[in-house]
Amino acid sequence: MIRFYLKALIEEKQFQEGKRIRMEDIALKTGIHRTTLSKIVNVRGYNTTTDVVDKLCRYFGGCHVEKLMQYVPDEDIVAGH
């Protein structure tokens, strides 16, 4: 399963910029629908496209993909890791 760190990236950007960032703000700047962003944050195992990943990495200052998401083996999820 792929685990997303979108919420953590948003929190980090808010801290750096000293202002609140809403999903709607990200949606407007990236062209990613707000519902998609919400699903990435809230739905475990959400499946998205590489285009969305590309847009998010660009939005977060050209971050590396591993800063946005990580592969977690299914057996680690079952074991509670």
**3-state helix, strand and coil shares in percent for the chain, rounded to the nearest 5:** 60, 5, 30
pLDDT in tens, 27-61: 999 999 999 999 999 998 899 999 999 999 999 99
pLDDT surpassing 70 at residue 79 = no
In this prediction, residue 38 carries a pLDDT of: 96
pLDDT surpassing 60 at residue 81 = no
In degrees, rounded to 5, the angle at the alpha carbon of residue 23 between the alpha carbons of residues 22 and 29 is 95
Q: How far is CA 48 from CA 7, 42, 73, in A?
A: 16, 13, 18
In this prediction, residue 43 carries a pLDDT of: 93
What residue ranges define each of the domains in the chain, with the CATH number in brackets? 2-79 (1.10.260)
pLDDT surpassing 60 at residue 78 = no
